[in-house]
């Protein structure tokens, strides 16, 4: 089975990492995945292409000058025909739109994964509106959380065309961090970290405000933000304004994530909205003490007080108190970390995710072939020869 994955990347974050893990896993199960990434004119963001090549995956760079580039669409169509692609799997609104039209022109099915709609600008809201229209017409939509499934149903996507597939991770990659604490040059006290895009929807301004309260009781604590994004400059300014600049470390993009988690004591995800965040699963697999907002699929992963602590989004006091609870009770922190690792290992493995997607691909392909057979049979039955006409 040859599958063309399409994505327009803003960097290597949750959706990109999920795609890489999925493609790597289905390749081991006998499929041939190809990673197609739009080379956007203003911002290439092709890190995922480099990562895919390092994993030995086939890649396709798609030059694209905007949201309606017919040359990009024709390039995708040509690749599908030349390489015998059997199914498109799109990730994100731009990939959904291009993928849908490419699938129609080449008569192959398309599966779209809805990872969420981050960002709230007027321009993005327009594209998200278009995306919902497209998602009504693709062959199948997968979602990473029940809250996204609900939004799609409200957008008139057929219930029978929606499947919830929880994200999965390679648990063994992060299990080595359980019980370890890697030394760092920037901290000797407790380390509290975030991993992801530095974007408004991640709620990091609330994280820094809560950090100030934590530092009033545990002044040696270091707060680490791993990742890049549009909010970095604003967050650096906020840290300075809050007079905590010396205790906040911006680590930028990191690739050895198991080492990153091993260096932390507490992982915090203060998001305002989420689907199924991979960073959360990774931190839990690494046995970290987790604080996360009660949004998206997160409550389906964490039972507060057992596998971590859940807080209300935008609530500085909740965030502060959760971090303090761990710092004041190391035994409790250790116990929740152990339970978090067991939770992810049992329910969010990469093999489980890959098997579920593979089953969806096969079902959609079988349905497509069955429909094509019926169409051909109908044409034959209507032919003059079939009707006995001479």
Statement to judge: residues 122 and 186 lie in one domain: no
Average pLDDT over the chain reads 89
Q: How far apart are CA 309 and CA 244, in angstroms?
A: 24
Q: Considering only CA atoms, which of 167, 144, 145, 148 is closest in space to residue 157?
A: 148
Task: Tell me the DSSP string of 233-298.
Answer: HHHHHHHHHTT-GGGEEEEE--S-HHHHHHT-SEEEE--SS-SS-HHHHHHHHTT-EEEEES-TTH
- Token pair 């609330």 is found at 206
33 lies in a domain?
yes
Q: What is the pLDDT of residue 73?
A: 95
Q: Considering only CA atoms, which of 27, 29, 32, 46 is closest in space to residue 1?
A: 32
Statement to judge: residues 27 and 113 lie in one domain: yes
78 contact partners, CB below 8 Å, separation of at least 6: none
Q: How far apart are CA 144 and CA 300, in angstroms?
A: 11
Tens-digit pLDDT profile for residues 270-287: 999 888 899 999 999 999
Statement to judge: residues 221 and 245 lie in one domain: yes
Q: What is the pLDDT of residue 388?
A: 47
Q: What is the pLDDT of residue 390?
A: 36
Q: Which residues of the chain have pLDDT under 50?
A: 388-390
Statement to judge: residues 134 and 14 lie in one domain: yes
388 lies in a domain?
no
pTM: 0.78
Q: How far apart are CA 269 and CA 310, in angstroms?
A: 10
Tens-digit pLDDT profile for residues 36-51: 999 876 666 678 888 9
279 touches 286 (CB < 8 A):
no
Q: What is the pLDDT of residue 64?
A: 87
Q: What is the pLDDT of residue 314?
A: 96
Q: What is the pLDDT of residue 381?
A: 62
User: Which pair of tokens denotes residue 359?
Assistant: 């089953």
Q: How far apart are CA 368 and CA 90, in angstroms?
A: 18
138 touches 96 (CB < 8 A):
yes
Q: How far apart are CA 147 and CA 310, in angstroms?
A: 17
386 lies in a domain?
no
142 lies in a domain?
yes
Statement to judge: residues 373 and 301 lie in one domain: no
Statement to judge: residues 113 and 227 lie in one domain: no
Q: How far apart are CA 116 and CA 128, in angstroms?
A: 10
385 lies in a domain?
no
Q: In what order do the strands lie in the sheet with 266-269?
A: 248-252, 222-226, 191-195, 266-269, 289-293, 309-311
Statement to judge: residues 27 and 6 lie in one domain: yes
The end-to-end CA distance of the chain, in Å, is: 43
Q: What is the pLDDT of residue 389?
A: 40
Statement to judge: residues 326 and 366 lie in one domain: no
Residue 107: domain span:
2-168+349-380
Q: How far apart are CA 144 and CA 14, in angstroms?
A: 11
Q: Considering only CA atoms, which of 325, 254, 326, 322 is closest in space to residue 288?
A: 326
Helix ranges restricted to H, the chain:
14-28, 47-54, 70-83, 93-106, 122-135, 146-154, 171-175, 204-217, 232-241, 257-262, 278-285, 298-301, 316-328, 330-347, 350-382
Q: What is the pLDDT of residue 180?
A: 62
Statement to judge: residues 266 and 330 lie in one domain: yes
235 lies in a domain?
yes
60 contact partners, CB below 8 Å, separation of at least 6: 4, 34, 35, 36, 37, 79
338 contact partners, CB below 8 Å, separation of at least 6: 178, 287
For the chain, the domain total comes to 2
Q: How far apart are CA 110 and CA 343, in angstroms?
A: 32
Tens-digit pLDDT profile for residues 171-222: 888 877 676 666 555 556 899 999 999 999 999 999 999 999 999 999 999 9
Helix (H, G, I), strand (E, B) or coil at 158: coil
85 contact partners, CB below 8 Å, separation of at least 6: 2, 3, 4, 34, 79, 106, 108
Range 44-57 burial, b when 16+ CB lie within 10 A, else e: ebbbbbebbeeeeb
Statement to judge: residues 67 and 104 lie in one domain: yes
What are the backbone angles phi and psi of residue 193, rounded to the nearest 5°? Answer: -130, 155
User: Domain with 255 in it: what CATH number?
Assistant: 3.40.50.2000
Statement to judge: residues 185 and 265 lie in one domain: yes
Statement to judge: residues 77 and 181 lie in one domain: no
192 contact partners, CB below 8 Å, separation of at least 6: 211, 214, 221, 222, 223, 224, 264, 265, 266, 267, 268, 323
390 lies in a domain?
no
389 lies in a domain?
no
């Amino acid at each position: 089975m040859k599958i063309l994955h399409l994505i327009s990347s803003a960097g290597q974050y949750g959706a990109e990492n999920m795609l890489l893990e999925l493609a790597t896993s289905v390749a081991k199960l006998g499929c041939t995945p190809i990673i197609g990434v739009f080379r956007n004119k203003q911002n290439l963001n092709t890190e995922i292409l480099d990562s895919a090549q390092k994993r030995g995956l086939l890649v396709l760079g798609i030059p694209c000058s905007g949201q309606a580039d017919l040359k990009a669409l024709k390039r995708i169509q040509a690749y599908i025909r030349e390489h015998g692609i059997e199914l498109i799997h799109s990730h994100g609104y731009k990939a959904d739109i291009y993928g849908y039209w490419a699938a129609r022109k080449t008569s192959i099915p398309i599966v779209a994964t809805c990872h969420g709609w981050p960002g709230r600008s007027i321009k993005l809201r327009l594209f998200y509106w278009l995306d919902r229209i497209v998602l009504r017409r693709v062959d199948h939509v997968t979602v990473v959380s029940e809250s996204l499934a609900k939004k799609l149903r409200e957008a008139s996507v057929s219930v029978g065309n929606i499947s919830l597939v929880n994200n999965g991770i390679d648990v063994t990659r992060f299990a080595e961090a359980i019980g370890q604490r890697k030394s760092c040059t920037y901290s000797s006290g407790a380390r509290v970290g975030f991993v992801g895009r530095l974007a408004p929807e991640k709620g990091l301004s609330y994280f820094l405000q809560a950090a100030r309260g934590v530092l009033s009781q545990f002044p040696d604590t270091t707060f680490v933000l791993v990742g890049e994004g549009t909010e970095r400059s604003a967050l650096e300014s906020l840290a300075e304004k809050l007079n905590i600049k010396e205790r906040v470390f911006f680590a930028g993009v990191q690739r050895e994530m198991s080492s990153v988690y091993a260096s932390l004591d507490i992982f915090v995800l203060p998001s305002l909205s989420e689907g199924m965040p991979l960073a959360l699963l990774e931190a839990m697999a690494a046995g970290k003490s987790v604080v996360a907002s009660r949004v998206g699929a997160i409550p389906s992963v964490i039972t507060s007080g057992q596998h971590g602590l859940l807080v209300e989004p935008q609530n500085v006091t909740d965030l502060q108190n959760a971090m303090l609870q761990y710092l004041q009770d190391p035994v409790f922190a250790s116990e929740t970390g152990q339970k978090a690792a067991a939770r992810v290992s049992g329910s969010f493995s990469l093999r489980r995710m890959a098997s579920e997607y593979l089953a969806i691909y096969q079902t959609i392909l079988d349905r497509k072939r069955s429909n094509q057979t019926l169409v051909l049979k109908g044409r034959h039955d209507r032919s003059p020869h079939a009707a006995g006409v001479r």
